[in-house]
């Protein structure tokens, strides 16, 4: 962990978790909910290219395109998880940091034989998911428990698949999280990460200029790509491959920068994706 990038809320895991809880437990009537006209509430970014003329588009059209790109990211993550290829009828996944369940409900819709459970740190989002599960009549295929993903409330070797979609930055150190993933995965189980990270193959002395604003905005702590690789190895998981999708994130952020619901963080991502200081990766690993 690059300690010079730590902000006040990232001095230790308890402070980080408290900041994450406060951020997401109070993130209620937000743009994520507004854009989810299809019923899938996401808490992650999206994959371009953009399919509309942004300059002439209405707010409603831009909102719909933002949701389409975020659904596209989920679809790509599902492809990397490779359901139906290894375990057949016994497949069961865990969503670590499931937010309001957008990814869970997309997977359940596409793969009728797969079970997906979730853990979530906050009371509000956990209750939101529970309400949606009942509304969708999915009680026999999923549950969401309020828990810290560093202490997953499931027995060893429960799951065939696990994924972290833009939540690894809420672990101050990656190795304890990945060891917990290793514990709950069955041998041969597949683990997929979607995350933004800084490019620690470069000189990082000036990275605080964009890392600190992003960390403050999301109550997060950003990691370098090599931290992911090293932590996977130390946890006993085997890295299969990394996929750099940075160029596909630039259109997403440019789209959001033209949106009435923009957050104000867009320019930090655009500039630093373009200069290769900040990357977006899918990372795939397995438990030997």
Residues 36-79: tens digit of each pLDDT: 999 999 999 999 999 999 999 999 999 999 999 999 999 999 99
pLDDT grade, residue 7 (50/70/90)? Answer: low
∠ Cα 163 38 220 (to 5°): 40
Least confident of 184-188, 199-203, 231-235: 199-203
**Bridging pattern class, strands 278-286 and 238-244:** antiparallel
pLDDT grade, residue 86 (50/70/90)? Answer: confident
Tokens linked to 139: 């009680």
pLDDT grade, residue 2 (50/70/90)? Answer: very low
Q: Answer yes or no: is pLDDT of 234 > 70.
A: yes
Tokens linked to 228: 């992911």
Per-residue pLDDT, 10: 60
**Residue 18's CATH number:** 3.40.50.150
Mean pLDDT throughout 109-119? 96
Domain that holds residue 252: 3-286
Q: What is the pLDDT of residues 237-274, one digit of tens each?
A: 999 999 999 999 999 999 999 999 999 999 999 999 99
Report the 10 Å Cβ neighbour count for 20: 23
> Computed over its alpha carbons, how large is the radius of gyration of the chain?
18
Per-residue pLDDT, 13: 84
Q: How far apart are CA 263 and CA 266, in angstroms?
A: 7
Q: How far apart are CA 78 and CA 228, in angstroms?
A: 20
What angle in degrees, to the nearest 10, is found between the helix axes of 225-235 and 174-184?
Answer: 40
Per-residue pLDDT, 19: 77
pLDDT grade, residue 193 (50/70/90)? Answer: very high
Per the CB < 8 A criterion, the answer to whether 281 and 195 are in contact is yes
Q: Answer yes or no: is pLDDT of 11 > 70.
A: no
Residues pairing with 165 in the sheet: 194
Q: Answer yes or no: is pLDDT of 9 > 70.
A: no
Per-residue pLDDT, 6: 56
Coil vs helix vs strand at 260: coil
Residue with the larger pLDDT of the pair 193 and 19: 193
Looking at the structure of the chain, the number of domains it has is: 1
Q: Where are the alpha helices (DSSP H) in 168-207?
A: 174-184
Across the chain, mean pLDDT equals 94
Per-residue pLDDT, 1: 43
| H/E segment holding residue 21 | helix 13-25
Per the CB < 8 A criterion, the answer to whether 137 and 164 are in contact is no
Mean pLDDT throughout 20-38? 88
Q: What DSSP letter does each residue of 80-105 carry, written as one string?
A: HHTTTSSSGGG-EEEEET-TTSHHHH
Mean pLDDT throughout 19-39? 88
Mean pLDDT throughout 276-283? 97
């Amino acid at each position: 962990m690059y300690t010079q990038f730590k902000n006040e809320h990232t001095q230790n895991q308890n402070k980080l978790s408290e900041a994450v809880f406060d951020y997401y437990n109070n993130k209620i009537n937000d743009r994520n909910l507004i854009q989810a006209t299809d019923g899938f509430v996401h808490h992650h970014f999206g994959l371009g290219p953009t399919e509309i003329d942004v300059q002439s588009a209405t707010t409603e059209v831009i909102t719909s395109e933002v949701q389409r790109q975020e659904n596209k990211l989920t679809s790509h993550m599902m492809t990397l998880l490779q359901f139906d290829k290894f375990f057949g009828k016994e497949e069961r996944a865990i969503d670590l940091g499931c937010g309001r369940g957008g990814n869970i409900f997309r997977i359940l819709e596409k793969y009728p034989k797969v079970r997906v459970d979730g853990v979530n740190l906050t009371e509000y989002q956990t209750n939101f998911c529970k309400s949606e599960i009942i509304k969708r009549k999915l009680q026999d295929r999923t549950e969401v428990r309020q828990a810290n993903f560093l202490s997953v409330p499931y027995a060893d070797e429960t799951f065939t698949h696990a994924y972290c979609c833009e939540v690894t930055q809420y672990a101050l150190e990656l190795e304890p999280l990945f060891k917990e993933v290793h514990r709950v995965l069955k041998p041969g189980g597949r683990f997929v990460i979607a995350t933004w990270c800084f490019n620690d193959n470069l000189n990082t002395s000036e990275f605080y200029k964009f890392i600190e604003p992003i960390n403050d905005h999301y109550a997060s702590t950003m990691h370098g790509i090599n931290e992911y690789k090293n932590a996977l190895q130390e946890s006993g998981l085997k890295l299969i491959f990394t996929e750099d999708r940075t160029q596909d994130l630039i259109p997403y952020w440019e789209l959001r920068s033209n949106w009435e619901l923009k957050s104000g963080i867009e320019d930090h991502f655009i500039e630093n994706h373009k200069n290769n200081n900040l990357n977006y990766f899918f990372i795939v690993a397995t438990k030997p």
